[in-house]
Amino acid sequence: MEFFRIRRDIPFMERALIFNVISFVTFLAAVFFLMHRGLHLSVEFTGGTVVEVQYPQAAQLEPVRATMTRLGYADAQVQNFGTSRDVLIRLPLKQGLTSAQQSDQVMTALKTQDPQVSLQRVEFVGPQVGKELVTNGLAALACVVIGIVIYLSFRFEWKYAVAGIIANLHDMVIILGFFAYFQWEFSLSVLAAILAVLGYSVNESVVIFDRIRETFRKQRKMTVMEVVDHAITSTMSRTIITHGCTEMMVLSMFFFGGPTLHYFALALTVGILFGIYSSVFVAAALAMWFGVKREDLVKDKKDKFDPNDPNAGAQV
């Protein structure tokens, strides 16, 4: 389905070098902020206290968050758990206080608002658990990267695999750079968003690569740059429809999903925008600069003529 069709190919590759220089500078800036500021890790990674409370009626989360802020837990995570009456509170480690003392402090403050609130459970999340989550998260990212390389190598050719994985790593590092620069909280939900962005970005790259292969088959007189420009231009309608619908859903989570989904939706928003950008100006441009040609994607079915072969020229 197409809402519109662009009749003349847009010369994207004429400006590819400029955009890739911008991408490289942005990438270096993201690495700089990651090294010097680091990520603002959530309780799942750093350890802390998990308190589950229950209200007799549907709980109002904003007053609970305000109470946690007054107690000195500005980074506390407050969300519904199971039902609208159950509230899960994740508190960061506080020097000089045990988990029991933290939970008593929280319950005393909450009971001043609603005496009927009851404590369901208290758990301590140690730093060792957080270290395991970091290790498992990095392992998950590595598996995704390796899987993408293998898939693109089988689907297309190694030049496309290398270009695609560089574009995906470009997106991932820039998202992390945003979180490091603004010190947004990095939680397990944000990690899940980054993994989703990797798959989303490689899907866009595959669509463009597939159209490049199709154009090589149909247009034998086009140069490589013209083929890439035609492939990108011919997929623009699909890109606008697909990513526009996805962004509407993600932005609805961002504006109406509350604090629980805030950073998850934020990571998806940044990732989708840079995923579109990298698929066009990073992945496609790198594939062109790596020297991709028609013979890499389209195998010539014509046999070479041999005058000594009696079956030369015959169709199989």
CATH of the domain at 58: 3.30.70.3400
- Clarify whether residues 98 and 232 are in a common domain: no
Read off the CATH number of the domain in which 157 is found: 1.20.1640.10
- Clarify whether residues 83 and 98 are in a common domain: yes
Residue with tokens 């270009």: 163
- Clarify whether residues 216 and 285 are in a common domain: yes
- Clarify whether residues 172 and 283 are in a common domain: yes
- Clarify whether residues 206 and 273 are in a common domain: yes
Last-in-domain residue among 125, 146, 176: 125
Instruction: Confirm whether 4 is domain-assigned.
Output: no
Instruction: Confirm whether 7 is domain-assigned.
Output: no
- Clarify whether residues 119 and 54 are in a common domain: yes
pLDDT tens by residue, the chain, 316 residues: 556 677 788 889 998 899 899 999 999 999 999 999 988 888 777 778 889 999 999 988 999 999 999 998 887 888 887 788 999 898 888 878 888 888 899 999 999 988 899 998 888 876 666 677 778 877 877 887 788 778 877 877 788 888 888 888 888 899 999 999 998 988 888 988 988 888 888 888 888 888 888 888 888 888 889 999 999 998 888 888 888 889 999 999 999 887 778 899 999 999 998 988 888 889 889 988 988 877 766 655 444 444 554 544 444 3
Instruction: Confirm whether 142 is domain-assigned.
Output: yes
Cα separation, 68 vs 71, in Å, equals 5
Instruction: Confirm whether 303 is domain-assigned.
Output: no
- Clarify whether residues 106 and 249 are in a common domain: no
Instruction: Confirm whether 170 is domain-assigned.
Output: yes
Q: Are 285 and 157 in contact (CB under 8 A)?
A: no
How do beta strands 77-81 and 83-92 pair?
antiparallel
- Clarify whether residues 92 and 33 are in a common domain: no
Letter string b/e over residues 10-43, b meaning 16 or more CB atoms within 10 A of that residue's CB: eebbeebeebbeebeebbeebeebbeeeebbbbb
Instruction: Confirm whether 2 is domain-assigned.
Output: no
Instruction: Confirm whether 82 is domain-assigned.
Output: yes
**Would you state the structure tokens that stand for residue 261, as one six-digit string?**
């989904």
- Clarify whether residues 25 and 154 are in a common domain: yes
**Would you state the structure tokens that stand for residue 13, as one six-digit string?**
């590759």
- Clarify whether residues 203 and 88 are in a common domain: no
- Clarify whether residues 200 and 272 are in a common domain: yes
Residue 196, CA atoms < 13 Å, CB-side half-sphere: 17
Last-in-domain residue among 125, 156, 183: 125
| Whole-prediction pTM | 0.76
**Structural domain range at position 290:** 12-39+129-296
Q: How many domains does the chain have?
A: 2
Residue 276, CA atoms < 13 Å, CB-side half-sphere: 17
- Clarify whether residues 113 and 218 are in a common domain: no
Last-in-domain residue among 73, 106, 125: 125
Among residues 161, 166, 164, 235, which one has the least CA distance to residue 202? 164
Instruction: Confirm whether 305 is domain-assigned.
Output: no
Q: Are 195 and 275 in contact (CB under 8 A)?
A: no
